[in-house]
Amino acid sequence: MSFSAMEYQQRIRKTKERMAAKGVEVLLITDPANMNYLSGYDGWSFYVHQMLIVIGDEDQPIWVGRTMDANAAKLTTWLYTDNIIPYPDIYVQSDVLHPMDFVADILKQIGQEKRSIGVEMENYYFTAKCYEQLKKGLPNAKFQDATLLVNWARIVKSDQEIEYMKRAALFVENAMADGIKMINEGVRECDVAAKILHTQVSGTAEYGGDYPAIMPLLPSGEKTSTPHLTWTDARYKQGDSVILELAGCYKRYHSPLARTVHIGRPNENLKALSEITVEGLNECLAIIKPGVALEEVEETWRKSIAKSGYLKESRIGYSMGLNYPPDWGEHTASIRKGDKTILQPNMTFHLIPGMWYEKSGFEVSESFRVTETGCETFADMPRELHIKDDVLLGYQAPVKEVQQKYADLF
């Protein structure tokens, strides 16, 4: 297990308090991150239906999943063997039977069929068919939306969770440095991605890496006008910018990081945009501390870039940590206008004020935790535009800083 049984029990208690506040007696969890958070379950089995059942007046949750995955539950969770209930393979991708029929039968057998049942309605892993079959199988239950109930319980991290994210940050520092070092004219995008993936998974000599919830995002050239592109087999050209958005991952805990590289001397517009974006990010980090509302952080950013005539409509960050594909975000608090979430120690966020325009863009980000007096970034790497140019004309100060810390990158 990644944590002590005591920590899992504390998480269960916290979840049950939230259940009671919403009038939920039975909580059906299908988000694999929430399943992991409460039970420790960790397997690449979320492509079939699986569930963790939390009952308000029972000590331990119940894991329900495919028979061939039951041993994974025995190996990775703190649950009693009797609380691990597999369904046979005849329920897998069948036109006749559905795993939620099996779940409904289990709930009836243990006397839960007339209770208030919470389900994660807004969830990648809970389908319309799941909901329909549960309602059909449990006609006397009262269903309600319990989306994000556990996600919000996860927003303040334990010290052990923070330690895992710090280890993940070492992985992303190395992966980012390897990516920046390899990017150059004539190099294939896919080869850079392969190097980054190798470094992410290799980790360090002390700790091995896990697979991240998002593949390396590596838009280049005009594709830097949009953030969520991966890679192709194209070769980088002189004058290309390349955005790298990556994460280290350790025991499913992430530390994301974004930086931008330019091959050759950047034009004045890109130089200015990079400086304005970094300045705004720095100003945001400077005001973060317990008691500050997230909308105040976004307002600081908005005012900073407005001085130079810039405007950004989208959010600039979000709570993150434990997760599975396709996302490392927790889907709870966002750094944006109107979000009144108050920062507390050991909350963790990815602050990513990316700037994208019609044919180009610039990204820089930091993952951070809120401390007792301010904030601490997980990774340590220069934020300025990284320039791959032998002459290094026209942009000496940031390059000098990069050279001093990462002399082998250029």
Dump pLDDT digits (tens) for 238-279: 999 999 999 999 999 999 999 999 999 999 999 999 999 999
For the chain, domain boundaries? 5-153, 159-409
SS3 track for the chain = CCCCHHHHHHHHHHHHHHHHHHCCCEEEECCHHHHHHHHCCCCCCCCCCCEEEEECCCCCCEEEEEHHHHHHHHHHCCCCHHHEEEECHHHCCCCCCCHHHHHHHHHHHCCCCCCEEEECCCCCCCCHHHHHHHHHHCCCCEEEECCCHHHHHCCECCHHHHHHHHHHHHHHHHHHHHHHHHCCCCCEHHHHHHHHHHHHHHCCCCCCCCCCCCCCECCEHHHHHCCCCCCCCCECCCCCEEEEEEEEEECCEEEEEEEEEEECCCCHHHHHHHHHHHHHHHHHHHHCCCCCEHHHHHHHHHHHHHCCCCCCCCCCEEEECECCCCCCEEEEEECCCCCCCECCCCEEEEECCCEECCCCEECCCEEEEECCCCEEECCCCCCCCEEECCCCCCCHHHHHHHHHHCHHHC
Predicted structure pTM score: 0.93
Collect the ranges in the chain with pLDDT lower than 50: 393-400, 402-403, 409-410
Residues 6+ apart with CB under 8 A from 313: none
How confident is the model at residue 408, as a pLDDT? 55
- Distance separating alpha carbons of residues 200 and 173, to the nearest angstrom: 9
CB half-sphere exposure, 388, CA atoms < 13 A: 23
Domains 5-153 and 159-409 share a fold: no
For the stretch 148-197, pLDDT in tens is 999 999 999 999 999 999 999 999 999 999 999 999 999 999 999 999 99
Q: Name the CATH superfamily housing domain 159-409.
A: Creatinase/methionine aminopeptidase superfamily (3.90.230.10)
| CATH number for the domain running over 5-153 | 3.40.350.10
How confident is the model at residue 306, as a pLDDT? 96
How confident is the model at residue 390, as a pLDDT? 62
Return the axis-axis angle of helices 5-22 and 32-39, rounded to nearest 10°: 120
ω into 216 cis (within 30 of 0): no
- Of 354, 356, 378, 357, give the one whose Cα is nearest residue 365: 354
How confident is the model at residue 397, as a pLDDT? 42
How confident is the model at residue 407, as a pLDDT? 54
